[in-house]
A and B are shown apart, each in its own frame.
Chain A
Amino acid sequence: MNFDYSDEQKALKDQARRFLSAESPLSAARAVLENPATGYDSALWKKIGEQGWCGAAIPEVYGGHEFGYVELCALAEELGRALAPVPFASSVYQFAESLLHCGSEAQKHALLPQIASGALIGTLAFTEGPGVLTAERIETKYENGTLHGTKIPVSDGGIAQRAVVLARDDNGPGLYLVDLEGGGVSRRTLSSIDPTRGTASITFDGAPAEPLGKAQDGLAQLARIHDRAAILLAFEQIGGADRALEMARDYALERYAFGRQIGSFQAIKHKLADVFVKNEVARANAYYGAWALGSNAAQLPVAAAAARVAASQAFWFASKENIQTHGGIGFTWEADCHLFYRRARHLGLVIGSPRDWKRRLTTALQRQLAAEQAQGIAA
C-alpha cells in the first residue's frame, strides 16, 4: 500500500516542473491563442522531445525509455499545470497507445521510435459529427486499401503526420493507420474553444491506409485505447485544476475589498475549500487509475472512467470558480483565467464528454458487481 509517487517519480516531476516553468510559461499558451494558425509551440515541442518525455511509457525495444506509466502520469500532471501548447496528448496518450495496444510488431517498430523521440506527431481520428459515436454513424470507409470520408474534429489534426483512423469496411468498424502527408488527404484547421490545442477536419479521398494490427472490432479497440488515455488526460486535468486553485488562492490573498483580503471572507474561503475537495476527489481517482494503468489491473475500465469523470468535473469547477474569485478582471482577455477555462473544456470533451463516461462507468460497475456476485465476494 502506497498512495504516493516514489522519490524518483517526485524528482522527475520536480524536474519537469522546473523545465516547464522556464520553457512553457503561460505566455507560451497565450502566443498560440493569439495566433491559432501555428497550432502548437514547435520550439517547445522540440525541447520536450529532447527531454525524452514522449517515450516515457514506450518500451525500450520500440525506442522508448520505459520509465513507466506512473512516470508518464507525473509528466502529464506537469504538462497540464503548464497548459503546454503541444500535441503531447494526441501523440502519446492516443496515437502511441493505439499502436502499443493494437498495432502489429512491424507497425510498432516503424513508428514508436519516432514518437518516442518527438520526431513524429500522431493523432487518433474517430469523431465524425456531434453527439455519441456509434457503429452506425461511422461513414468513413476502408476499401481496397484506401480510406474515404471525413473525420471531424481531429485533435492536432492540422499538424499530425500520422493518424489512426476509425473507419468501416464490410465487416464493421476497424482502426486504420494512415500517412497524413501522403496522397488523398486534405485538411482544414478549425476554430475551437481552446486554440492552444489545435483541431482540424481531415478528408480522405482514396488515401492509402493499412489495418492497425489484426482486424478487430474497432469500437472495442477504441474503448480500450480511450480507457488508457482517460487516465493520462486526468493527470493533465488535475494539474490544471490545482493551478487554477492556486491562482484563485493567490488572488484572494492579494485583493482587498471592504478593508480586508477577500480571502478572509467565508464566501470565498468555502468556495475554494469546495474546489480543493473536488480536486482531491479527482486526484484520488486518478492515482488509482495510474496504478491500474501501470499494473494492467482488472479494475482498469472502472478506474479509468472514474478518473475521467472526477477530473473533468474538478477542472471545470476549478476553472470557473477561479474566474469568479478574480471578479471582473478574470473575465478579461488579458487575464490568464480563461486559458484554464478553455483547456478544461477541451480536455473534458477530447475523448468524449463526462456524460458519456458516466454511462461507461455505471456499465463497468454493473459488470464488476455481477462478477463479484458470481464469485461470492462479500461487499
Chain B
Amino acid sequence: MNFDDSPEEARYRATVRTWIAANAPDMGGLSADEQRNWHPAHKAIARQWQAAKADAGYACISWPKAWGGAGGTAIEEAIFNQEEVRAGVQFTYFMTGLHMLLPALMEHNEDDLSLARIPPAVRGEEIWCQLFSEPASGSDSAGIRSQAVRDGDNWVVNGQKVWNSGAQIADYGMLVARTDADLPKHKGLTAFWVDMKTPGLQVRPIKVMSGEAELNEVFLDNVHIPDTQRVGAVNGGWKVVISTLMNERAALGSGTGLSWRDVMRLAAQTPAWEGSAIDDPAFREWLADYYVNVEAIRLLSFRTLTSLSRGEAPGPASSAGKLLWSNKTQEMASEAVDLQGHFGLLDGSDDALLHGAFQHRFLWAPGLRLGGGTDEIMKNIIAERVLGLPADIRVDKDVPFREIPHGR
C-alpha cells in the first residue's frame, strides 16, 4: 500500500507539471459564460490545447504509438490528467471519442478508411459522439429499434437516437442499429461509424432541466452508410457496445470542479446564528460524512489505476465509484445551496456566490444519476457481477426481437 508517487512517477509528474505550466492556454481572458462547457470560445481553447498535447506526445499517452499515442502507461496518463485538473485545463470534448469509441473502432476494424479517422481525433480536429441510446432503449441498452437495411454496398438506416452528448458539434458518430429483428435482441445489432453531415441525419438539441442544451436527439431518415463503415461483424454490434463500455474510463480524473474545500470555504463565509455556518454542528457532521465518501471516490480511482498498471481491467466494483460520485455531487449541491438560506436561490453569474456554480450543479445533478448507467443499473451490476446474486427474471431473453412486448 502506497499512496505516494514512486520516484519514477514523481519525476514524470514534475516533467508534465513544468510542461503544462509553460504551455497551458490562459483561461483568464474568458468570461464566466465563456468558461462553460460547449461555449464556442471554450471549445476553441480545448482544440488548441489538444493539438499542443498531440505535438508534444501528451495526447492519448497510454495508446500504442501505432495508433498515434505515446506508448506510455495508464499511470502516466492518469498523472497527466491529474495535473491538467490541477492547472484547470481539462476538457471533456474528446473523451467520448478517445476513451470509448475509437479504441473500440481500432479493436474491431483494421481497414485504412477507419484508421484514417484516428490522427485527426487525437489532435482534437475531429470530435466524436455516441449514437447508442434510443427513446425505447435507455437502461435496456440492447432494446435498439433503429433499423439498418442492406442495400447493395450501403446500409439504409431509419430511426431515432437520444441523449447524444455533443452531437451538435460532433464530426463523427458511432451508431448501433438493428439488422435482424428475428434474432434475440442482443444478437441482431450491428455497429457503424458515420459522418454527422450525412444526408438524412438531423441533430436536434434537447433542452434539459438546467436550461442547457448539450444533449441531443438524432433523427435518422434514410441515412445511407457505406458497408465499409461497418464496425465489426454484421449482427456483432453488441460486442462493439461492450468494447466501448470496457474502455470507459471516464471515472478517472473526473470531478465536479467543486470539492469539499469549496464547501468548507463557502461555510466559513456564510453567516449563521452564531458565527459562521462552519461552526454549526449539523454542518460539521454533514461535512465529515461527505468527506469520507468523496475521499473514497478519490482513493478508489487509485485502485483502478493499480489494476490498470498491472494490465488488469478495472472490475465491476468500479460501479461503486459512479454511484457515489453522482449521488454525493447532488447531496453536496443541495447542502451548499441550503447553507446560503434564501440567498441560495440566486443562480445568476453576477449575483450568486461563485457565479452560481453550486446552483448549476444542483440543477445538473439529477442527470448525473441517470447518464452513463442509472443508479439502479449500477446497483444491479454490483449485485449481479460483484456479489453474484441472480439476474432479474427476463421475459425478453431468447425471444425474437420482433416478438418482445413494448409500449408506445
What CA separation (Å) do A148 and B122 show in the bound complex? 75
What CA separation (Å) do A17 and B388 show in the bound complex? 22
Q: Is B392 part of the contact surface with A, judged by Cβ < 8 Å?
A: yes
Q: Is A23 part of the contact surface with B, judged by Cβ < 8 Å?
A: no
Q: Distance in Å from the Cβ of B238 to the closest Cβ of chain A?
A: 23
Most chain A CB neighbours (cut-off 10 Å) among B86, B261, B288: B288
Interface residue stretch chosen among B89-97, B240-248, B378-386: B378-386
Cβ–Cβ < 8 Å partners of B376 in chain A:
266, 270
Q: Are B2 and A365 in contact (CB under 8 A)?
A: no
Q: Is B140 part of the contact surface with A, judged by Cβ < 8 Å?
A: no
Q: Are A310 and B382 in contact (CB under 8 A)?
A: no
Query: Which one, B4, B75, B260, B389, contacts A268 given CB within 8 A?
Result: B389
**Known contacts A249-B389, A284-B295, A284-B299; A362/B2 CB under 8 A:** no
Q: Is B291 part of the contact surface with A, judged by Cβ < 8 Å?
A: yes
Q: Are A306 and B2 in contact (CB under 8 A)?
A: no
Q: Distance in Å from the Cβ of A221 to the closest Cβ of chain B?
A: 23
Interface residue stretch chosen among B104-112, B144-152, B316-324, B399-407: B316-324
Residues 1 to 20 of chain A near chain B (Cβ within 8 Å): 1-6
* Chain B residue at minimal CB-CB distance from A354: B288
* Chain A residue at minimal CB-CB distance from B75: A1
Q: Is B137 part of the contact surface with A, judged by Cβ < 8 Å?
A: no
Cβ–Cβ < 8 Å partners of A365 in chain B:
260, 264, 287-288, 291
Q: Are A362 and B287 in contact (CB under 8 A)?
A: yes
Q: Are B295 and A273 in contact (CB under 8 A)?
A: no
**Known contacts A273-B387, A355-B285; A306/B292 CB under 8 A:** yes
Q: Are A281 and B296 in contact (CB under 8 A)?
A: yes
Q: Are A269 and B291 in contact (CB under 8 A)?
A: no
What CA separation (Å) do A294 and B1 show in the bound complex? 9
**Known contacts A272-B389, A285-B296, A366-B278; A4/B260 CB under 8 A:** no
Residues 1 to 36 of chain B near chain A (Cβ within 8 Å): 1-6, 9
Cβ–Cβ < 8 Å partners of A290 in chain B:
1
**Known contacts A1-B4, A5-B1, A281-B296; A263/B291 CB under 8 A:** no
Q: Are B303 and A4 in contact (CB under 8 A)?
A: yes
Residues 63 to 104 of chain B near chain A (Cβ within 8 Å): 75, 86
Q: Distance in Å from the Cβ of A132 to the closest Cβ of chain B?
A: 12
Q: Are B284 and A359 in contact (CB under 8 A)?
A: yes
Cβ–Cβ < 8 Å partners of B389 in chain A:
249, 252-253, 261, 263-264, 268-269, 272
Q: Is A338 part of the contact surface with B, judged by Cβ < 8 Å?
A: no
* Chain A interface size range: 35 or more
Q: B-side binding surface: helix, strand, loop or mixed? A: helix
Residues 290 to 334 of chain B near chain A (Cβ within 8 Å): 291-293, 295-296, 299-300, 302-303, 305-306, 309, 317, 320, 323-324
Q: Are A284 and B296 in contact (CB under 8 A)?
A: yes
Residue tally, chain B, CB below 8 Å to A: 53
Cβ–Cβ < 8 Å partners of B292 in chain A:
281, 285, 306, 309-310, 313, 361
Q: Is B390 part of the contact surface with A, judged by Cβ < 8 Å?
A: yes
Q: Are B264 and A369 in contact (CB under 8 A)?
A: yes
* Chain B residue at minimal CB-CB distance from A293: B1
* Chain A residue at minimal CB-CB distance from B386: A276
Cβ–Cβ < 8 Å partners of A252 in chain B:
389
What CA separation (Å) do A285 and B292 show in the bound complex? 7
Q: Is A291 part of the contact surface with B, judged by Cβ < 8 Å?
A: yes
Cβ–Cβ < 8 Å partners of B56 in chain A:
none
Q: Is B210 part of the contact surface with A, judged by Cβ < 8 Å?
A: no
**Known contacts A270-B383, A272-B383; A284/B300 CB under 8 A:** yes
* Chain B residue at minimal CB-CB distance from A4: B306
What CA separation (Å) do A5 and B303 show in the bound complex? 11
* Chain B residue at minimal CB-CB distance from A268: B389
What CA separation (Å) do A70 and B3 show in the bound complex? 13
Beyond the given A1-B5, A249-B387, A276-B387, please list 9 additional residue pairs across the A-B interface where CB-CB is below 8 A: A264-B389, A264-B393, A266-B379, A270-B379, A277-B382, A287-B1, A359-B284, A359-B288, A365-B260
Binding site for A on B (CB under 8 A): 1-6, 9, 75, 86, 259-262, 264-265, 278, 281, 284-285, 287-289, 291-293, 295-296, 299-300, 302-303, 305-306, 309, 317, 320, 323-324, 376, 378-380, 382-384, 386-393
Binding site for B on A (CB under 8 A): 1-6, 70, 245, 249, 252-253, 260-261, 263-264, 266, 268-270, 272-274, 276-277, 280-281, 284-285, 287-288, 290-291, 294-295, 305-306, 309-310, 313, 355, 357-359, 361-362, 365-366, 369, 372, 378-379
A to B CB contacts below 8 Å, 29 in the list:
A1-B9, A1-B302, A1-B309, A2-B2, A3-B302, A245-B387, A263-B383, A263-B389, A269-B379, A269-B384, A269-B389, A270-B376, A273-B383, A273-B387, A277-B382, A287-B299, A291-B2, A291-B3, A295-B2, A309-B292, A310-B292, A358-B289, A362-B284, A362-B285, A362-B291, A365-B288, A366-B264, A378-B86, A379-B261
List 10 A-B pairs, minimum CB-CB distance, nearest first.
A358-B288, A269-B383, A284-B299, A273-B379, A281-B296, A284-B296, A273-B382, A264-B390, A3-B303, A362-B284
